[in-house]
Structure 1
Amino acid sequence: MVEYESWVLEMLKNSVLACALVFCVGLQGVALADQPGPDWMPLEQVKQKLISSGYTSIIKIEAEDGHWDGEGMKNGKAMQFDLDPKTGDILGEVEK
């Protein structure tokens, strides 16, 4: 019986270690999220450019896959948009 209890405790310990490892690896992926490049237009200037393009509200904007990606309101409609990272020009926008 003692051998069985020892085996169960060892399996439990290994399971906890495996879960901790998976959790840490998952957090590492969060830390590696896209970041604006050093030559990208600053976020505040990007927001101003969107407002001058007819957006009345910027709901979300973030660096993603080498460009600015976000959501906002334009002409009373919820929109998704992609922006050039250096110029802030709209590369594409669709109604959400």
Structure 2
Amino acid sequence: MRRRTEPAVAASGRWIDEDGVRAPGGSVHAWRPGTNQTLCGVPLHKAGLQRFPHVLWIDARWLAETTEERIVLCHRCAAAAGDRPGRRWTRVHPRP
């Protein structure tokens, strides 16, 4: 089985779109399925973030620009996901 390289989304809130599908809302972070933290290091359970494995990070960026729902993208996750070419962010001391 091949691992997906594009990160999925974890968010502090959710809303239901017109097709009846859960969509992320509130504070949105990039997250790799199979891990327990976001790309910027926020622990999912302790922060109360909901997982959205069916929503890719690139789709969350599109939702933030096009929908009327309140979606705030994490700037650290955006940098870690490679949204800003030439300015990639990495964690210095990752948690064990």
TM-score range, shorter chain: under 0.3
TM-score (norm 1): 0.22
Bigger relative contact order, structure 1 or 2 (CA pairs below 8 A, ≥6 apart): 2
TM-score (norm 2): 0.22
Q: Which structure's residues are more often helix, by fraction?
A: 1
- Which protein shows a greater Rg? 1
